[in-house]
Amino acid sequence: MLETAGENEPIATAAITSAREVPTMSKSARKRLLKQQLLEARKTERKAAEKERRRKDLERRRREWDDKLTCASEEERVRLVESRKEMRRERMERKTDDRGKRAERLRRSAEIGQKVVIDLEFSGLMSSGEIQSLAHQILYCYAANGKCESPAHLWLTGCKGEIGTQLQRISGYDKWIIEKEEKSYIEQFQDQKEKLVYLTADAENTLEELDDSKIYIIGGLVDRNRWKGITMKKANEQGIQSARLPIGDYVKLASSQVLTVNQVFEILLKFLETRDWKNAFFDVIPRRKRGTVDTECGDTVNVAKIERECNEASEAEITEDRGEEDEFDNVLGTKKQRSELTTDDADLIETADDTNVADDNKT
């Protein structure tokens, strides 16, 4: 249902106008385009609202701290300041310890981890904005892998050109414990070609289990459905195996069965942890992307419809349930440009988890 009043009126009007500017499109294609534009506009609004909420929350906590110091005696002020410094020291020690453990897990994954490749040879088919979106998704992949107790052995192949430049802009990227290769995966694994398995929604074979000896490839493409079937075609031309995730066996998606790069990667991580596809899909795929699911009593529930109806209430509950951040946390993040990213500490993993649900660009 379109928003036609209040703050959302310009968004709906702009989206409708844009959709009508393409007369060669079929009616269903125009509806898909309109829906996509509305979702993107609302996503931008939500991000702006969240940024404003964080700014106001930071200002409020600073005022409360200043008032607390003002009302305290000199002796009490010294005690409060020292207590805060000690808390920050302890937090930094925990972060340093967590960072060390994460690095050790990632190094160990190079020896025993499941090999997963992100194929970055599609840069020529994407716009600059889509390439930047792909860089974000790769960041989320790295963050999720570092959080995992049994991380995968993650490879980036074809890592050059504009996507290589975008990745280099990520603060800390040079220190990532990950395999980065300018060569293609075919060149890199030329003596292991029989082990390569391209994951694509167009494959006939369904992936029932993950084989430790196999090397699974995820196409690094944000195509918005312009290049349907391109990864399947590439696998066939190269004579390598292909497979699709068994999504349809467990979840009926509301639209396309194509997921973002980081969603596919996180599904693989979750399956490695649980060996349960259903658990992996429901843990990673956002509820709004699910269409209908069958309940144990045989009823069909329209998850997407329920999600739309409860959207405002859910977001309000999420905001209320969020724990109070330290008053100095995320200060730098609010001042950075949108294109700048950081992998400084464990906060990145939390940020990646939250943003993963919001990023709807398709690979």
C-alpha span between 343 and 171 (Å, rounded): 6
- Paired strand residues for 54: none
* CA nearest neighbour of 19 among 41, 3, 35, 4: 35
pLDDT of residue 253: 77
Region 252-280 average pLDDT: 88
Is the pLDDT confidence value at 300 over 80?
Answer: no
282 backbone dihedrals φ, ψ, rounded to 5°: -70, -25
CB 157 within 8 A of CB 121: yes
pLDDT score of 224: 61
Chain centroid offset of residue 20 CA: 31
The whole-number pLDDT of residue 291 equals 60
Residues 41 and 33: beta-carbon distance below 8 Å: no
Which of the given ranges, 63-72, 112-121, 304-313, has the highest pLDDT on average?
112-121
Told to judge if 223 belongs to the known catalytic residues of this protein, a careful annotator would answer yes
pLDDT top residue among 126 and 21? 126
What average pLDDT does the chain have?
A: 78
Are 170 and 343 in contact by the 8 Å Cβ rule? The answer is yes
243-270: average pLDDT: 87
356 pLDDT above the threshold of 60: no
pLDDT at position 70 is: 87
pLDDT digits (tens, 9 = 90+) for 164-180: 999 999 999 999 999 99
Supply φ then ψ for residue 126, to 5 degrees. Answer: -120, 155
Residue among 191, 211, 223, 345 flagged as catalytic: 223
Predicted confidence (pLDDT) at residue 261 exceeds the cutoff of 60: yes
Q: Residues 277-291: pLDDT tens digits?
A: 999 999 998 887 776
At 225 the pLDDT is 67
User: Nearest-5° angle of CA 119, CA 122, CA 128?
Assistant: 120
Neighbours of 177 (CB within 10 A): 18
Tallying the residues shown for the chain, one arrives at 363
Radius of gyration (C-alpha) of the chain in whole angstroms: 23
